[in-house]
């Protein structure tokens, strides 16, 4: 490769930022520094004006506790961009926060953003425009499963096929990748949020106890499981008894929660099976060799890899630090745009 002194020099003084615009969490990876921001993708807006007032961590703390005049929203909840202005505010906030962390004023950044694979052309354009309007000098988009696979260390540029299952908050993305491209993919709206809802429904039906979304998420992360545990666990939950209307606390077990989660987990299993059905035999052979990689926060559900292994007859492994795969993958693209150019989304 030819030595390009100017671009090298420019690289020293420019800011390169990779963003994982997740349905649950937004991560910002600054080249040379690593992941500097990791905050929930929540925005609190004024109901009347729809102007964003709190973003990220501050907004998530208000969830379930907002005054009637305000609304806490996740603009990417289902893996689609529901409101352009709010999404733009989110991107603007994270870009400016990353910029503030640099010691010297730097030129406008180059940005790589991960977008859900189910995003429509209009949505992709919206994210691109939002980043440009937020001050990016250049913006590149990459599909999240591709970024996740790259961040997880899968050989995405090789002829060897790999499979990644990224279970986030709003969506589960299944992708089989080979030679820079997605061979087979599935995107479904059953992921972490749905599991939280399952827990709410289960506890309401069984005990007439209504618990909040954040409590349900706590239950999922502490005792939620997909496969019998070596030692089953219990946890205390708090909510409002729907019969008496009074506050109540009760103890719940991992066995019960597993029952509550089973049908959504089965949907995820079946979707992966369905994707495997379409995979060409040569690549199936690669998958037998290399297994299936789990990424995203949902990869941390206890016993999930055992459950999937059992049902799919393949080795299943969890990526290192599964919550940061997309952000790290976006960072790798920035490190070597030439090498990974083929992975990027081309806008019409
Ligand atoms: P997204 O990319 O959609 O923003 P993430 O990959 O950040 O999503 O994952 C967020 C989801 O992972 C949430 O639903 C969260 O509850 C779930 N999660 C995070 N940690 C755990 C854990 N230890 N066990 C189970 N679920 C978890
Ligand atoms: Mg994600």
318 lines ligand 1 (CB under 6 A): no
Q: Predicted confidence band at 4 (pLDDT cuts at 50, 70, 90)?
A: low
Task: Provide the whole-model pTM.
Answer: 0.93
**Predicted confidence (pLDDT) at residue 157 exceeds the cutoff of 90:** yes
As a whole number of angstroms, the distance between CA 26 and CA 56 comes to 8
**Predicted confidence (pLDDT) at residue 179 exceeds the cutoff of 80:** yes
- Least confident range from 12-21, 265-274, 293-302, 328-337: namely 12-21
**Predicted confidence (pLDDT) at residue 111 exceeds the cutoff of 50:** yes
**Predicted confidence (pLDDT) at residue 308 exceeds the cutoff of 70:** yes
The more confidently predicted of residues 348 and 297 is 297
Q: Predicted confidence band at 104 (pLDDT cuts at 50, 70, 90)?
A: low
Please, are residues 87 and 76 in contact by the beta-carbon 8 Å criterion? Answer: yes
Q: What is the pLDDT of residues 219-253, one digit of tens each?
A: 999 999 999 999 999 999 999 999 999 999 999 99
The more confidently predicted of residues 133 and 323 is 323
As a whole number of angstroms, the distance between CA 311 and CA 307 comes to 6
Which residues have beta carbons under 5 A from ligand 2 (an ion)?
22, 168
As a whole number of angstroms, the distance between CA 273 and CA 12 comes to 46
As a whole number of angstroms, the distance between CA 70 and CA 25 comes to 21
Give the mean model confidence (pLDDT) for residues 73-83: 79
As a whole number of angstroms, the distance between CA 246 and CA 228 comes to 33
Residue 199 in tokens: 């827990």
- Spatial CB neighbours of 61, under 8 Å, sequence gap ≥ 6: none
**Predicted confidence (pLDDT) at residue 82 exceeds the cutoff of 90:** no
- Which helix (H) or strand (E) segment is 100 a member of? helix 84-100
The more confidently predicted of residues 302 and 104 is 302
75 lines ligand 1 (CB under 6 A): no
Give the mean model confidence (pLDDT) for residues 94-111: 81
Whole-number Å distance, alpha carbon 78 to ligand 2 midpoint, is 11
Give the mean model confidence (pLDDT) for residues 169-193: 95
As a whole number of angstroms, the distance between CA 238 and CA 215 comes to 8
- Least confident range from 7-11, 61-65, 116-120, 289-293: namely 7-11
Which atom from ligand 1 is nearest to the alpha carbon of 26?
4
Which atom from ligand 1 is nearest to the alpha carbon of 302?
24
As a whole number of angstroms, the distance between CA 232 and CA 223 comes to 8
Nearest CA to ligand 1 atom 12: 297
Best residue for ligand 1 mutational test, from 20, 23, 24 (most atoms within 8 Å of Cβ)? 24
192 lines ligand 1 (CB under 6 A): yes
Please, are residues 139 and 81 in contact by the beta-carbon 8 Å criterion? Answer: no
Q: Predicted confidence band at 13 (pLDDT cuts at 50, 70, 90)?
A: low
Q: Predicted confidence band at 116 (pLDDT cuts at 50, 70, 90)?
A: confident
pLDDT value of position 11:
54
**Predicted confidence (pLDDT) at residue 1 exceeds the cutoff of 50:** no
pLDDT value of position 83:
79
Which atom from ligand 1 is nearest to the alpha carbon of 171?
3
Whole-number Å distance, alpha carbon 278 to ligand 2 midpoint, is 24
């Amino acid at each position: 490769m030819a030595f390009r002194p100017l671009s090298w020099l420019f690289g020293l003084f420019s800011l390169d930022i990779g963003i994982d615009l997740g349905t649950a969490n937004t991560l910002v990876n600054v080249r040379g520094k690593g992941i500097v921001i990791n905050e929930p993708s929540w925005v609190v807006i004024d109901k009347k004006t729809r102007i964003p007032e709190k973003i990220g961590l501050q907004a998530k703390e208000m969830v379930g506790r907002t005054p009637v005049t305000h609304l806490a929203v996740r603009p990417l909840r289902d893996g689609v961009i529901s409101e352009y202005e709010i999404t733009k505010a989110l991107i603007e906030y994270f870009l400016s926060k990353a910029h503030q962390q640099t010691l010297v004023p730097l030129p406008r950044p180059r940005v790589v953003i991960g977008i859900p694979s189910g995003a429509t052309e209009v949505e992709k354009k919206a994210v691109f425009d939002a980043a440009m309007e937020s001050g990016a000098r250049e913006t590149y988009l990459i599909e999240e499963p591709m970024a996740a696979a790259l961040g997880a260390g899968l050989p995405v540029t090789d002829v060897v096929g790999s499979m990644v299952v990224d279970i986030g908050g709003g969506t589960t993305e299944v992708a089989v990748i080979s030679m820079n491209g997605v061979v087979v993919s599935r995107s479904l709206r059953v992921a972490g949020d749905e599991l939280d809802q399952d827990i709410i429904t289960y506890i309401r039906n069984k005990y007439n106890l209504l618990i909040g979304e954040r409590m349900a998420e706590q239950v999922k992360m502490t005792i939620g499981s997909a496969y019998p545990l070596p030692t089953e666990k219990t946890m205390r939950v708090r909510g409002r008894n729907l019969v008496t209307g009074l506050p109540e606390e009760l103890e719940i077990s991992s066995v019960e929660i597993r029952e509550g989660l089973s049908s959504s987990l089965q949907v995820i299993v079946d979707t992966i099976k369905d994707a495997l059905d379409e995979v060409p035999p040569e690549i199936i052979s690669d998958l037998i060799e290399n297994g299936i990689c789990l990424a995203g926060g949902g990869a941390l559900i206890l016993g999930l890899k055992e459950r999937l292994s059992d049902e799919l007859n393949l080795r299943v492994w969890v990526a290192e630090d599964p919550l940061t795969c997309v952000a790290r993958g976006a960072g790798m693209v920035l490190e070597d745009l030439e090498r990974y150019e083929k992975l990027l989304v081309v806008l019409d």
